[in-house]
A and B are shown apart, each in its own frame.
Chain A
């Protein structure tokens, strides 16, 4: 009995201790405010950071020093050693070197992407079987704070509990019956129907009847009532209740669901030995004006669904972003444009005249509308801001029917009629515009006229000239050529008739052909038109041509795209210019051959040399790359530093130790 008691006591003690152990650990963690470490990946720490080596900093406190209080005086006692040279006892203090880990790093942006790498280091004291650690990395880009994907470290016991929760929920789900016919006592129902409504079985296979059928027993009990009677309503209700509280049950059983979305890593730790280290790589899309990115890490510790401890936020890591587009040359580019003084406008209108007559009849055909149109256009040209109307030439054309001489005379008189009409109109318009002009009188303080000026548009005289266009054979040629109804042979006949010089004879010749009717009816009316030519000059311009420079907005848009890291767009615009900025765009897009083609022809500025170094490095021609780089550095010393920022050059610097300083000789002065 006694031994059994002892065993029992021991077991209980062990249980208590193990439980206590966990709590003690937790308390310890809380007291120490244990945190996690966020560092740059250790392997590449000295590559691109500003600090090449760890800096040793003096730590003023050491265990060999102490402050004592003797007789009210404070004294500092230090360790003493014998100085070898002088033989005296001198105070000695050993300084402990403290190492600072770099917290910032330069990253180069390539193809619009930046790769950020950092290491998450979790001390062993935080990792336990029953706990789940969740880490939330945060990235600060310009004004945005972006939550990156979580990292989850799960203890094996925690995971087991999670799975058990899912199991319990599955077991609950398995109790739910989805097939509701399970609740019907089918056997009894079948027997009942067979006994009391046997007619069902005769009609069930007959589909010629309407679908609305009802079967009754002799005493009026329907199928539905029978089904209703033979269902286990209680079980069905319970099932429905289970279905309804599915979600609640999920929340109850699965207290901590296994999350897969938005999680970078969910790892289960079996044996926690040493710190947990995870290298997190995050590609980021670059943005305009992005110079640096901050990353910090927060975390939480969970048990079941309770949060035990909030891991304090780490110190942020800073990434400085360097880009090829910083090489862009922003000097503006101009185009020259030539502006002429003179301008001409041609316009054609169809004015109909009575046969043989040259009076303008407004009621004929579309004349009213066409004349109105001409007037409107005239007015517009006369009152235009940019141009001044000098003169107008009017030519009237006729169709070939009739004799040439008659037609010529007719045309001339018709053109003259139109000219007189519009001359009158122009004069009337000028008068009306003149009337709107006035005098501007500025009255001085003592109510006397101080200045007087004429305000209004000055419209110079417009000269008209009327011409006879004659029979419009040239236009007829065009019409025949494009005519759809005449076939090739007919068109050939027509063009052969052009050999006949005499126009009247030509017309006689064509009359004999069947297609003449079509020509006369459809094509001839189009030939009777009036052509206006307006001669204008630019207002206030004296010289015949002027050359001005205008900003090449297309080019500048391309440069802006380059600055905004839109490399594809920049190349599409700048490509045609084939200049330095185009080369930069090509380099940014890794189109090295196109870039080199341009760079070779450019004068050797430090930027060009540096770019060539980058491109040669990409080709693998290290010797040329190094030469170009060193030349550029000699031309402009700042490129020494820039070399560290671009991985192509940085690799060369490391390999050939290009930035090594010569051994300094410190002059101590004694």
Chain B
């Protein structure tokens, strides 16, 4: 549990720091000043956009919504032409087909991540690459074996890349693929029922309640997100 809060606080600090720096740089006052540009002879009037133009973006991944109706939220803030910092959270605690024990689907998980995105051209336009830390608390039935279930905490480094298509000045649609690698502490169960904490423990056969740890490298997500920029 403290693992969760640790990651949470790191992510928060991340965001806050950058937010603060962004605040500082935002005190530039200008909207319509006559600026003497490079060559002395030219006198151009430069109009710079205000600091509040298109800085924040909130997006939600439709694929996740479709995957067991997991609501998710991703908040981004641009602090440079090519950089934005993001924080994402996902929560799922629904049970499907509760009536049928054999086919009961339970996907309990929470996921939190924080990272940065690099946009080669400009924030919120075109290709992007992201890297960040991610923590997931999961309880998941194995895809290959319906009797096997795994639950635990995983944390690691997530990398993703994608392309953001501009639809409107306030709307993007974002496509991406990500994978992550890290360490997970988990317990695996096998049983005739799909339920949490029921069934035989199969990852550790010595009977202890300690979770086993493993390094992993897995595909993480498929993004088809709707992004709102403001």
Which A residues contact B (CB, under 8 angstroms)?
A: 188, 191-192, 194-200, 203, 209-210, 212-221, 229
Which B residues contact A (CB, under 8 angstroms)?
A: 31, 37, 42-51, 53-55, 78, 80-81, 121-125, 166-170, 229
Q: Is the CB of B121 within 8 A of A191?
A: no
25 A–B contact pairs at CB < 8 A? Answer: A188-B125, A191-B166, A191-B169, A192-B122, A192-B125, A195-B53, A196-B53, A196-B122, A198-B169, A199-B48, A199-B49, A209-B45, A212-B42, A212-B45, A213-B45, A214-B37, A214-B45, A215-B47, A218-B51, A218-B55, A219-B81, A219-B122, A220-B48, A220-B81, A221-B81
Q: How many angstroms between the C-alpha atoms of A191 and B50 in the bound complex?
A: 17
Known: A199-B47, A216-B48, A218-B48. 12 other contacts (CB 8 A): A188-B125, A195-B166, A196-B53, A212-B44, A213-B45, A213-B47, A214-B44, A215-B47, A216-B46, A219-B80, A221-B122, A229-B122
Known contacts: A198-B53, A199-B31, A220-B81. The answer to whether A192 contacts B166 by CB under 8 A is yes
Q: Which residues of B contact A210 (CB under 8 A)?
A: 43, 45
Q: Is the CB of A213 within 8 A of B44?
A: yes
Q: Which residues of B contact A219 (CB under 8 A)?
A: 78, 80-81, 122-123
Task: In the A-B complex, list the 4 residue pairs whose CB atoms are closest, starting with the nearest.
Answer: A219-B81, A194-B169, A195-B169, A191-B166
Q: How many angstroms between the C-alpha atoms of A195 and B168 in the bound complex?
A: 8
In whole Å, how far is B59's beta carbon from the nearest beta carbon of chain A? 15
In whole Å, how far is A155's beta carbon from the nearest beta carbon of chain B? 58
A193 closest partner in B (C-beta): B169
Q: Which residues of B contact A195 (CB under 8 A)?
A: 53-54, 124, 166, 169-170, 229
Q: How many angstroms between the C-alpha atoms of A69 and B43 in the bound complex?
A: 114
In whole Å, how far is B71's beta carbon from the nearest beta carbon of chain A? 26
Q: How many angstroms between the C-alpha atoms of A212 and B43 in the bound complex?
A: 7
Q: How many angstroms between the C-alpha atoms of A319 and B132 in the bound complex?
A: 101
Give which listed residue, B47, B51, B81, B123, contacts A203 with CB less than 8 A: B47
Most A Cβ at <10 Å: residue of B44, B166, B170: B166
Most A Cβ at <10 Å: residue of B31, B169, B229: B169
Q: How many angstroms between the C-alpha atoms of A71 and B134 in the bound complex?
A: 126
Q: Is the CB of B121 within 8 A of A229?
A: yes
Q: Which residues of A contact B125 (CB under 8 A)?
A: 188, 192
Q: How many angstroms between the C-alpha atoms of A191 and B125 in the bound complex?
A: 10
In whole Å, how far is A420's beta carbon from the nearest beta carbon of chain B? 87
Q: How many angstroms between the C-alpha atoms of A191 and B78 in the bound complex?
A: 18
Q: Which residues of A contact B37 (CB under 8 A)?
A: 214
Q: Which residues of B contact A209 (CB under 8 A)?
A: 45
Q: Which residues of B contact A218 (CB under 8 A)?
A: 48-51, 53-55
Q: Is the CB of B45 within 8 A of A216?
A: no
Q: Which residues of B contact A194 (CB under 8 A)?
A: 169
Q: How many angstroms between the C-alpha atoms of A220 and B42 in the bound complex?
A: 19
Q: Which residues of A contact B45 (CB under 8 A)?
A: 209-210, 212-214
Q: Which residues of B contact A212 (CB under 8 A)?
A: 42-45
B52 closest partner in A (C-beta): A218
Q: How many angstroms between the C-alpha atoms of A337 and B179 in the bound complex?
A: 125
Most A Cβ at <10 Å: residue of B31, B123, B125, B170: B125
Q: How many angstroms between the C-alpha atoms of A220 and B170 in the bound complex?
A: 20
Q: Is the CB of B44 within 8 A of A198?
A: no
Q: Which residues of B contact A192 (CB under 8 A)?
A: 122, 125, 166
Q: Is the CB of A191 within 8 A of B47?
A: no
Give which listed residue, A188, A213, A216, contacts B49 with CB less than 8 A: A216
Q: Which residues of A contact B78 (CB under 8 A)?
A: 219
Q: Which residues of A contact B166 (CB under 8 A)?
A: 188, 191-192, 195
Q: How many angstroms between the C-alpha atoms of A608 and B122 in the bound complex?
A: 104
Give which listed residue, A188, A216, A220, A221, contacts B47 with CB less than 8 A: A216
In whole Å, how far is A482's beta carbon from the nearest beta carbon of chain B? 71
In whole Å, how far is B98's beta carbon from the nearest beta carbon of chain A? 45
B168 closest partner in A (C-beta): A191
In whole Å, how far is A556's beta carbon from the nearest beta carbon of chain B? 76
In whole Å, how far is B132's beta carbon from the nearest beta carbon of chain A? 22
Q: How many angstroms between the C-alpha atoms of A212 and B35 in the bound complex?
A: 11
Q: How many angstroms between the C-alpha atoms of A442 and B53 in the bound complex?
A: 122
In whole Å, how far is A207's beta carbon from the nearest beta carbon of chain B? 13
Give which listed residue, A198, A214, A229, contacts B46 with CB less than 8 A: A214
Q: How many angstroms between the C-alpha atoms of A215 and B50 in the bound complex?
A: 11
Most A Cβ at <10 Å: residue of B42, B122, B170: B122
Q: Is the CB of B167 within 8 A of A191?
A: yes
Q: How many angstroms between the C-alpha atoms of A14 and B51 in the bound complex?
A: 81
In whole Å, how far is B31's beta carbon from the nearest beta carbon of chain A? 7
Q: Is the CB of A217 within 8 A of B53?
A: yes
A185 closest partner in B (C-beta): B166
Q: How many angstroms between the C-alpha atoms of A199 and B47 in the bound complex?
A: 7
In whole Å, how far is A376's beta carbon from the nearest beta carbon of chain B? 71
Q: Is the CB of B49 within 8 A of A217?
A: yes
Q: Is the CB of A198 within 8 A of B49?
A: yes
Q: Is the CB of B54 within 8 A of A196?
A: yes
Q: How many angstroms between the C-alpha atoms of A192 and B171 in the bound complex?
A: 11
Q: How many angstroms between the C-alpha atoms of A219 and B50 in the bound complex?
A: 10
Q: Which residues of B contact A203 (CB under 8 A)?
A: 47
Q: Which residues of A contact B50 (CB under 8 A)?
A: 199, 218
A229 closest partner in B (C-beta): B121
Q: Which residues of A contact B55 (CB under 8 A)?
A: 218
Q: Which residues of B contact A199 (CB under 8 A)?
A: 31, 47-50
B229 closest partner in A (C-beta): A195
Q: How many angstroms between the C-alpha atoms of A210 and B46 in the bound complex?
A: 11
Most A Cβ at <10 Å: residue of B37, B53, B124: B53
Q: How many angstroms between the C-alpha atoms of A155 and B44 in the bound complex?
A: 67
Q: How many angstroms between the C-alpha atoms of A194 and B51 in the bound complex?
A: 15
Most B Cβ at <10 Å: residue of A195, A203, A229: A195
B165 closest partner in A (C-beta): A188
In whole Å, how far is B173's beta carbon from the nearest beta carbon of chain A? 12
Q: Which residues of A contact B169 (CB under 8 A)?
A: 191, 194-195, 198
Q: How many angstroms between the C-alpha atoms of A191 and B167 in the bound complex?
A: 7
Q: Which residues of B contact A216 (CB under 8 A)?
A: 46-49
In whole Å, how far is A177's beta carbon from the nearest beta carbon of chain B? 24
In whole Å, how far is A407's beta carbon from the nearest beta carbon of chain B? 87
Q: Is the CB of B44 within 8 A of A196?
A: no
Q: Which residues of A contact B47 (CB under 8 A)?
A: 199-200, 203, 213-216
In whole Å, how far is B55's beta carbon from the nearest beta carbon of chain A? 8
In whole Å, how far is A547's beta carbon from the nearest beta carbon of chain B? 90
Q: Which residues of B contact A198 (CB under 8 A)?
A: 49, 53, 169
In whole Å, how far is A216's beta carbon from the nearest beta carbon of chain B? 4
Q: How many angstroms between the C-alpha atoms of A195 and B50 in the bound complex?
A: 11
